[in-house]
Amino acid sequence: MSSSIKIESVVKEKTRMGECPVWEERETALVYVDINSQKVCRWSPLSNEVQSVSVDARVGSVALRQCGGYVIALGTRFAFLDWDTQAVTTILELEQDKPNNRFNDGKVDPKGRFFAGTMAEETAPGFRARHQGALYTLYPDHSVIKQLDQLDISNGLDWSLDHRTFFHIDSLAYAVHAFSYDVHTGKIACPKLLYHLEKEEQMPDGMCVDAEGKLWVACIDGGRVIRIDPETGKRIQTVRLPTPRITSCCFGGKDYSEMYVTSAYDGLDETTLAKEPHAGEIFKQLPSFPES
């Protein structure tokens, strides 16, 4: 089913590659990254202002810390970011043998572990070394394990409401996979294909889970987010957005009923950009959840 939900552009300050939105209750703000501008950003819906902190490498993901501040995955390292001082403190360097790799999407699991994956950058237009990426988990004691390797572009991730299943996207597989997940150890196992994207949906990017346990997948170059029922593996809703490069999504707002959707303008040529005035903006929707 295709939905005609009202979409509102709420952050007009454009991002080259907006990604990894996460709602921060204590700041009443949406936190996200602009990967290619090497910035962590924070937008307040109350003031409608965007603040940002520049870092020294492409930053793939950001997550909240219980004690305040953020954990980020930038370049090929995990680090803490103190928003007030703008200090970045490295926790651990990884993949130093892969100079073309960088971290991409990441998210904190139900027990406070930070999952984040890597990918190879293009070394020439349209050329990317294959199977160079991996998925890591940073534990609260700062230890790190590798959960998956041989990935192309480790991307969207989230957990089922009962904390028994982990969902993950490797973008160049054009699919969402489900893994068994042990909430006590943080380990994942037993991958199975959940959903393979259709041609017009293009490539899967970021992902989140809603209050009903359904998945929302951002389709980069598909100009949409799609809603998938993990019980059946079927798409149950499509929401089209007013720009093609849709990158990620999360729920936020006072009661987490608002979906925020990030986008990008990098990757669009000048002719296309002239026709896409909303490229790189962040959108808000109040989704309805029809089951047809």
Q: Give burial (CB, 10 Å; 0-12/13-18/19+) of 5.
A: middle
Beta strand 144-151 with 133-138 is: antiparallel
205 catalytic residue (yes or no): yes
Distances from the Cα of 90 to the Cαs of 39, 56, 71, in angstroms? 16, 12, 10
| Residue type for position 236 | I
19 assigned ligand-binding residue: yes
Q: Is there a contact between 43 and 29 (Cβ–Cβ < 8 Å)?
A: yes
Distances from the Cα of 240 to the Cαs of 70, 156, 163, 177, in angstroms? 31, 19, 29, 23
102 assigned ligand-binding residue: yes
Query: Structure tokens of 37?
Result: 């501008």
255 assigned ligand-binding residue: no
Point out the catalytic residue in the list 105, 109, 205, 210: 205
CA atoms within 13 A on the CB side of 64: 17
291 assigned ligand-binding residue: no
In DSSP notation, 120-154 reads EPEEETTEE-TT-EEEEEE-TTS-EEEEEEEESBE
The whole-angstrom separation of Cα 223 and Cα 220 is 7
| CA triple 199-205-210, angle to 5 deg | 105
CB atoms within 10 A of CB 67: 6
- Map residue 280 onto helix, strand or coil: coil
- Positions at the binding site: 19, 102, 104, 122, 155, 205
* Residue list, annotated binding site for a divalent metal cation: 19, 155, 205
Report the catalytic residues. Answer: 205
Binding site listing for substrate: 102, 104, 122
